[in-house]
Amino acid sequence: MWRSLSLLISALTLASPTALAAGDTLRIAHYDMPAQFGMPYGTFGSNGALPLHAVFDALVYVDARGGAAPGLALSWEPIGQDRWVFKLRPGVRFHNGEAFTSASIVANVEAVIGDPVIMNQQVSRQIDGLAGARAIDELTVEIRTTRPDVILPQRLALLRPHEPKAWRDMGPEQFGRRPVGTGAYRIEDWSRERIVGRAYADGWRKPRIPSLEILALPETAARVQGLNSGQVDIAWLLPPDAKLAVEAAGNRVMASPTNNTLNLMLVHTKSDSPVSDVRVRRALNYAFDKETFIRTMMRGTTVASGQPAAPGMVGHFDDIKPYPYDPALAKRLLTEAGHGNGLKLTAEIVTAIGEFKDTMEAMANDFKKVGVDLELRVVTIPDFVRRVLGVERWAGDAFSMQYEGYPSSDLMRVMNTHSCLVRQGTRQPHTCFEEIMPTINRANATFDRAERERLLREIARFYHDNATAVFSHQLVQLDGLSPKVRNYAMENRVVNYDRIEFAN
């Protein structure tokens, strides 16, 4: 905590007098910064997505119902199963003054499928299947895919166009420090500790607050203290137990439902792990009293989960219910699996984000009641990312992670990270059931929405029945706000930077 507070004080001390003028600067405390700074394709996690949307606009946004909404593209339509035509927003300029046109989208699509730096980034792997693009006219572009893709507009919410000339002239590293997009704020400095932006005067959606500062404060206590002392205006991603302290200081907490569910992922692909047995996986689900956890620790702010998609996503089905709390059944299943005398498991977890730590500790406590000793090993976010990307192997039997629907709000987004689709080169998936892969592949290939929904239901039911994770709850992002902050909104991990204003 003390290191984070010193970073906050240092950042505010170094800021210019103009930036510190009352009402001129929106200051936000963030739990982490993206590893690749302002590279638009480097991350889609909350650590990167929240600040990146201040700099870049998405081609298409996804609303709370999983539908595609206009961004830099105003409309779109398929002209076959492997081609879409997008009409672009007129009058948009990048931060360096270059016009945003269909040629910009062509260059970005070509970068996703051909630039060796961008091709290896997380975002590029999530919008795979692009075959190319061509400009029809200045504001009309055709995008081709390698397979039928009925949700291409939603998947292209991850396409946050960069200015091609700036990327070419600056190179990836320098561009990351001074990214050039079309967003509300133009970046002046981007470091590990602090992002400084100024309102883009020629932007198509000008912000109401002239300056922006985002400060990295990893510890929750430091973000709460920064908010309660008036040194920041917004504190992102607070755990539920911070709500009372925030409100006691006269601030407020905003809850924004997300397309993600929080779970203990089970590495069933390790044949020597007890969780390779479905009876053990189901036992752990029956052993976790998630309803009590939600009522007490989460203050009733969310709902329990029992499938890989969150409520509101395409591929979530209300009739697939969460596992009920049944410790007697959990014990019986463990005995049938040969662990009647107890079982020891290890899980690697991160603790800096929201309620991750509280959730994992609650699971561990409930597991003890049925004879399962779950050792929680805390790992840093960079180490966690390396394991997720397959650079390093998971050391334990499980790890804390989300089934993440951002940004497409579709079950197949989850499958891109939590199925055999992950397998490539030496990278091995933590979840891989070969028997469901034909269904996943058919769902990926069909352009028939009714057939696709039927296949998604089959996938969701399979993941529930095979207890691919210890399911917990839908994630709700809790942000602390100063009473002077008005019009703040968060939808599908996108902040409405252009509409935020300060009370007079």
Most confident of 65-69, 82-86, 235-239: 82-86
The answer to whether the CB of 207 falls within 8 A of the CB of 184 is: yes
57-168 maps to which CATH number? Answer: 3.90.76.10
pTM of the model: 0.85
Q: For domain 257-475, say whether CATH 3.40.50.720 is its number.
A: no
Judged against a pLDDT cut of 60, whether residue 13 lies above it is answered with no
The answer to whether the CB of 339 falls within 8 A of the CB of 280 is: yes
Structure confidence at residue 185 (pLDDT) = 98
Buried b (16+ CB within 10 A) or exposed e, 376-408: beebebeebbebbebeeebebbbbbbbbbbbbb
Reported as type and span, the H/E element at residue 383 is helix 381-388
The answer to whether the CB of 415 falls within 8 A of the CB of 421 is: yes
Judged against a pLDDT cut of 60, whether residue 88 lies above it is answered with yes
Centroid of chain to Cα 312: 16
Structure confidence at residue 120 (pLDDT) = 79
Give the residue, 451 or 20, on which the prediction is more confident.
451
Structure confidence at residue 43 (pLDDT) = 76
Give the residue, 22 or 70, on which the prediction is more confident.
70
CATH 3.90.76.10 domain extents, the chain? 57-168
Judged against a pLDDT cut of 50, whether residue 471 lies above it is answered with yes
- Provide the strand spans (E) within 356-468: 372-378, 398-404
The answer to whether the CB of 429 falls within 8 A of the CB of 420 is: yes
The answer to whether the CB of 134 falls within 8 A of the CB of 142 is: yes
Judged against a pLDDT cut of 50, whether residue 21 lies above it is answered with no
Integer Cα distance of 301 and 297 in angstroms? 9
Least confident of 46-60, 77-91, 327-341, 383-397: 383-397
Collapse the DSSP code of 194 into the 3-class scheme (helix H, G, I; strand E, B; otherwise coil) and give the result. Answer: strand
Per-residue pLDDT band for 459 (boundaries 50, 70, 90) equals very high
Most confident of 9-18, 410-419, 420-429, 454-463: 454-463
As given in the structure block, the two tokens for residue 405 are 């629907």
The amino acid present at 188, given as its one-letter code, is E
As given in the structure block, the two tokens for residue 253 are 């907490």
Give the residue, 408 or 463, on which the prediction is more confident.
463
Structure confidence at residue 127 (pLDDT) = 85
Structure confidence at residue 20 (pLDDT) = 41
CATH 3.40.190.10 domain extents, the chain? 1-40+183-251+482-504
Region 209-226 average pLDDT: 96
Integer Cα distance of 467 and 381 in angstroms? 26
Judged against a pLDDT cut of 70, whether residue 6 lies above it is answered with no
Per-residue pLDDT band for 267 (boundaries 50, 70, 90) equals very high
Structure confidence at residue 467 (pLDDT) = 98
Structure confidence at residue 130 (pLDDT) = 94
CATH 3.10.105.10 domain extents, the chain? 257-475
Residue where the block lists tokens 């252009």? 498
Judged against a pLDDT cut of 60, whether residue 35 lies above it is answered with yes
What DSSP designation does 231 have? Answer: S
Structure confidence at residue 18 (pLDDT) = 38
Structure confidence at residue 232 (pLDDT) = 98
Region 289-313 average pLDDT: 94
Judged against a pLDDT cut of 50, whether residue 472 lies above it is answered with yes
Residue where the block lists tokens 């044949």? 271
Structure confidence at residue 352 (pLDDT) = 65
240 CB burial (10 A radius; 0-12, 13-18, 19+): buried
Give the 3-state secondary structure of 295-326. Answer: HHCCCCCCCECCCCCCCCCECCCCCCCCCCCC
Judged against a pLDDT cut of 50, whether residue 105 lies above it is answered with yes
Structure confidence at residue 427 (pLDDT) = 67
Judged against a pLDDT cut of 70, whether residue 201 lies above it is answered with yes
Q: Each residue of 125-156: pLDDT tens digit? A: 788 899 999 999 999 999 999 999 999 999 99
Per-residue pLDDT band for 425 (boundaries 50, 70, 90) equals low
Q: Please provide the average confidence, as pLDDT, over all residues in the chain.
A: 91
Give the residue, 487 or 34, on which the prediction is more confident.
487
Integer Cα distance of 421 and 428 in angstroms? 10
Handedness of CA 17, 23, 24, 30 (dihedral sign): positive
Collapse the DSSP code of 171 into the 3-class scheme (helix H, G, I; strand E, B; otherwise coil) and give the result. Answer: helix
Per-residue pLDDT band for 41 (boundaries 50, 70, 90) equals confident
- Percent of the chain residues topping a pLDDT of 90: 75
Judged against a pLDDT cut of 80, whether residue 15 lies above it is answered with no
Q: Each residue of 327-386: pLDDT tens digit? A: 999 999 999 999 999 999 999 998 766 688 899 999 999 999 999 999 999 988 778 877
1-40+183-251+482-504 maps to which CATH number? Answer: 3.40.190.10
